[in-house]
């Protein structure tokens, strides 16, 4: 981690931004005449608004149904969770606590685990209503609903009675293993063990039942219908440090929650504003924004050092990748041929220098289970690629085009957000040339992020370049399990492999680390064999901070698990 002192800047930006630098000046009473009044005036912050630059948002600000990390950054300060994570990726109490009781048989084997969730007294939502265990249980039940189609994998936890609840129709209204003890306490009984059972249950935002369970017209949430919870997607409400106010013109405005149980935030207003990747350092350097996250490439780091701009550089608990939709490119030979045309090393080193490394398996290498000795599965090899295309039935016609037996040329479209500033640009530039030489065509579509996301989610792209983030465990069910495909979860590749599913389920229930490492290695190899994802880079996270902040109030960490985003309420402006 590095923090550099921000030096006085005379740079004047030529950009026309819709939001002025850090909000309104809080000048106070200009007629104050007493010495005491002058001292009080001097103690006030010059700025009352902290502005965070972000990548384009989709506007789904619901913890249960969001689809991008950028939306989650926005709604994060609106909610409190039962527990959070510390720097070492361990659960810590937040709005509540979680206790674990293992139930063992006569041989000492754990047969069941009982989790006790207890909320703190006196916490209220931003509308003044009390936070109770009914709100937590409502949040849980929505995720366990058979109609739930968000990213949560809570339903993979083997809660007693869950199968009967999901398969029993309207007649079954409760999960027998979930018990309300009192207004602040509940227990959840799980068969067997799950390596992330505690995080699945405790790292949960608490949604107010009276708001997410009832729509504006009075319609109440019912099992089997997500309409009511989704009706709140654009206007979140919780018990966190900030209250959501507006979203317009690519700007989200939040206001401090004076009743936040950890104390009112030090900065009255928090805004999130979309900013282009190429402009992220500029807007912080000239004070138009206070925090943002440019890519940690060589040029950016050189500029930060040269200009003395404050920054924080940490490992990223995620990775960049190129995905292939198996529904659109169903022939595995075509997918394998495409994989062999992805020349990653030159692109990654050219873009990041020593600030990233080529990743060989589709899981962040920050986790202990990542196979550190993994070798390239599909090394760059044009001849091998052509072999696979030929095996798929493609051959050159009289015009030199690579066509199938129907005379259709091999054409593939890949979607990339902000191509000029993207680490994969070099890969696709070389790939396009190689495919043209073979008589095939690669269409590289430079898309706005929300368009890229929408087209990918609707199955309208053959390939896409994106990144995963915020990974705090090795259970990859959400990403690769068959049940998460076809829009039901985060399986963007539409991978459906029973053997992968089996390994995913084994990993989730294997407590021994060394045994789990072996299973993860097998699982990742099999995912690579399916040729639906090419891991590209493991990079650093970079955040830069303006001189408008009291930098000693910004949470300093080398960890990707607990960051300043968890501590917005303590950041002060100058």
The two tokens of residue 463 are 């390939």
Burial class (CB in 10 A: 0-12, 13-18, 19+), 334: buried
The model's confidence at residue 7, banded by pLDDT at 50, 70 and 90, is very low
Task: Give the per-residue pLDDT at 44.
Answer: 57
As assigned by CATH, the class of the 319-539 domain is: alpha beta
Question: Would you state the structure tokens that stand for residue 38, as one six-digit string?
Answer: 């002058």
Q: Cα torsion for 470, 475, 479, 481, to the nearest 10°?
A: -170
Beta strands in 475-552 (DSSP E): 533-545
| Per-residue tokens: 26 | 């809080």
Cβ-Cβ contacts under 8 Å for 309 (sequence gap 6 or more): 4, 6, 281, 284, 285, 303, 544, 545
- Map residue 568 onto helix, strand or coil: helix
Residue given tokens 């912050």 in the structure block: 45
Residue 23 is given by DSSP the state S
Look at residue 9 and tell me whether its pLDDT is greater than 50.
Answer: no
pLDDT at res. 514: 95
21 pLDDT above the threshold of 50: no
pLDDT tens digits, one per residue of 235-265: 999 999 999 999 999 999 999 999 999 999 9
Q: Which two structure tokens, joined as six digits, stand for 143?
A: 């995720």
User: pLDDT, tens digit, for every residue of 225-236?
Assistant: 999 999 999 999
Q: Mind listing the pLDDT tens digit for each residue in 147-189?
A: 999 989 899 899 999 999 999 999 999 999 999 999 999 999 9
Find all residues with CB under 8 Å of 127, minimum gap 6, and list them: 208, 211, 237
pLDDT for 3: 34
Structure-model confidence comparison of residues 498 and 558, the more confident one: 498
pLDDT at residue 24, as a whole number: 32
Closest alpha carbon to 423 in 310, 551, 568, 536? 536
Both tokens of 118, joined, read 């207890």
What is the average pLDDT value for the chain, to the nearest integer?
90
- What stretch of H or E contains 453? helix 449-457
Q: Which homologous superfamily does the CATH classification assign to the domain defined by 80-230?
A: Dipeptide-binding Protein; Domain 1 (3.90.76.10)
CATH architecture of 35-74+240-290+546-570: 3-Layer(aba) Sandwich (3.40)
Q: What is the pTM (predicted TM-score) of this model?
A: 0.80
Residue ranges per structural domain of the chain: 35-74+240-290+546-570, 80-230, 319-539
Burial of 391 (0-12, 13-18, 19+ CB in 10 A): middle
């Amino acid at each position: 981690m590095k923090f550099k002192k921000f030096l006085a800047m005379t740079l004047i930006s030529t950009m026309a931004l819709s939001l002025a630098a850090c909000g309104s000046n809080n000048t106070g009473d200009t007629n104050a005449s007493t010495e005491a009044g002058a001292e009080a005036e001097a103690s006030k912050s010059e700025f009352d608004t902290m502005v965070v630059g972000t990548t384009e948002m989709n506007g789904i600000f619901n913890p249960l149904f969001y689809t991008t990390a950028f939306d989650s950054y926005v709604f994060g300060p609106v909610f409190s969770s039962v527990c959070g994570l510390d720097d070492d990726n361990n659960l810590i109490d937040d709005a509540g606590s979680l206790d674990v009781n293992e139930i063992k048989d006569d041989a000492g084997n754990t047969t069941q685990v009982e989790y006790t969730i207890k909320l703190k007294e006196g916490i209220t939502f931003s509308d003044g209503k009390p936070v109770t265990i009914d709100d937590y249980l409502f949040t849980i039940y929505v995720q366990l609903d058979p109609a739930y189609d968000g990213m949560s994998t809570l339903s993979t936890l083997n809660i007693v009675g869950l199968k009967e609840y999901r398969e029993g129709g309207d007649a079954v209204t409760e999960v027998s293993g979930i018990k309300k003890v009192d207004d602040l306490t509940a227990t959840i009984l799980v068969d067997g063990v799950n390596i992330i059972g505690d995080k699945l249950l405790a790292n949960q935002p608490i949604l107010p039942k009276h708001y997410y369970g009832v729509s504006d017209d009075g319609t109440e949430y019912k099992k089997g219908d997500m309409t009511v919870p989704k009706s709140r997607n654009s206007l979140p409400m919780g018990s966190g440090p900030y209250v959501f106010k507006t979203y317009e013109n690519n700007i989200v405005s939040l206001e401090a929650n004076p009743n936040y149980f950890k104390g009112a935030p030090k900065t009255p207003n928090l805004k999130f504003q979309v900013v282009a990747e190429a402009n992220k350092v500029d807007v912080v350097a000239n004070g138009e924004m206070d925090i943002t996250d440019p890519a940690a490439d060589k040029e950016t780091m050189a500029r930060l050092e040269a200009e003395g701009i404050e920054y924080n550089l940490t490992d990223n608990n995620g990775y960049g990748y190129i995905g292939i939709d198996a529904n659109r490119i169903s022939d595995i030979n075509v997918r394998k041929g495409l994989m062999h045309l992805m020349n990653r090393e030159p692109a990654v080193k050219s873009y990041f220098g020593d600030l990233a490394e080529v990743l060989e398996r589709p899981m962040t290498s920050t986790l202990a289970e990542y196979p550190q000795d993994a070798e390239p599965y599909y090394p760059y090899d044009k001849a091998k690629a052509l072999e696979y295309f030929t095996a798929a039935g493609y051959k050159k016609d009289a015009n030199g085009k690579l066509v199938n037996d129907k005379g259709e040329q091999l054409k593939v479209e890949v979607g990339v957000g902000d191509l000029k500033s993207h680490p994969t640009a070099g890969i696709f530039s070389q790939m396009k040339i190689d495919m043209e030489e073979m008589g095939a065509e690669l269409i590289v579509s430079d898309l706005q992020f929300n368009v890229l996301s929408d087209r990918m989610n609707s199955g309208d792209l053959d390939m896409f370049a994106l990144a995963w983030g915020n990974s705090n465990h090795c259970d990859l069910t959400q990403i690769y399990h068959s049940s998460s495909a076809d829009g039901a979860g985060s399986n963007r590749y539409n991978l459906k492999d029973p053997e992968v599913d089996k390994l995913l389920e084994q990993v989730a229930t294997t407590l021994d680390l060394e045994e789990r490492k072996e299973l993860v290695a097998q699982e990742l190899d099999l995912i690579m064999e399916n040729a639906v994802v090419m891991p590209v880079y493991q990079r650093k996270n970079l955040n830069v901070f303006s001189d408008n902040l009291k930098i000693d109030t910004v949470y300093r960490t080398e960890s990707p698990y607990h960051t300043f985003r968890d501590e917005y309420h303590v950041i002060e402006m100058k």
